[in-house]
Amino acid sequence: MKIKLKSRREKIIFSITVGVIACAVVFNYLIIPVFERDSRLTKEISLAEAKLQRFRWLLSQKDSLNEKYNGAGSKLGAGEDNSVMAALSELEVLAKSSGIRIVEIRPEASSFTRGQSRESLIELRAEGQIQGYIRFMYEIESSLSLFSIKKLQIVSRGSAGNLEARFTIVLFFSP
């Protein structure tokens, strides 16, 4: 198909149209895929860096995790009273490191559960900020002692963001 252009104006418009179409094709099929690939690789790199940072943190915590693990192994042979007292002490340490203040803590009677394991309920009342409670709950659930939060009630106290919380924590141990 041969197009005959008569005037100079038609030739200029035709050249500009062909140039715009050529630029659009180059942009859509060459430049945009390069930018999309770059964006995808940047996201993958940032994800890998975040994982690497997490692994570095875990590696730096290796010694303290080993100490907690070895301490938990030695607690398993202790009696029921010693286990509950050690759990209360651990809860106090976790609360202090999380920045919350324990107002009241008291163990309840232990009862049999499935098999030969026992559980003991611990009632805890504390005051603090929401960030401290989040950190405290994380520490409880990730503790090497077998803690589980059974019940949680949070009440606002004052306008400064102070909160009062009541926890019912379950401690599982073997007799």
Give the pLDDT of the chain (175 residues) as one tens digit per residue.
566 767 888 889 999 999 999 999 999 999 999 999 999 999 999 999 988 998 888 888 888 877 776 765 554 444 556 778 888 889 999 999 999 999 999 888 666 566 667 788 889 999 998 899 999 999 888 888 888 899 999 998 776 778 899 999 988 876 5
The confidence score (pLDDT) of residue 76 equals 44
The confidence score (pLDDT) of residue 80 equals 58
Of residues 173, 168, 174, the one with CA closest to residue 121: 168
The token pair that represents 116 in the structure block? 């030969």
Q: Whole-model pTM above 0.85?
A: no
Task: Give the separation between CA 88 and CA 159, rounded to whole angstroms.
Answer: 31
**DSSP, residue by residue, the chain:** --PPP-SHHHHHHHHHHHHHHHHHHHIIIIIHHHHHHHHHHHHHHHHHHHHHHHHHHHHHTHHHHHHHHHHHHHHTTS-HHHHHHHHHHHHHHHHHHHT-EEEEEEEEEEEE-STT-EEEEEEEEEEE-HHHHHHHHHHHHT-SSEEEEEEEEEEE-SSSS-EEEEEEEEEEE--
Of residues 152, 89, 83, the one with CA closest to residue 118: 83
The confidence score (pLDDT) of residue 114 equals 60
The confidence score (pLDDT) of residue 100 equals 92
The token pair that represents 112 in the structure block? 């049999």
The confidence score (pLDDT) of residue 45 equals 93
The token pair that represents 127 in the structure block? 């005051």
- 78-173 CATH, one of 3.40.50.300, 3.30.70.60, 3.40.50.720, 3.40.50.1980: 3.30.70.60
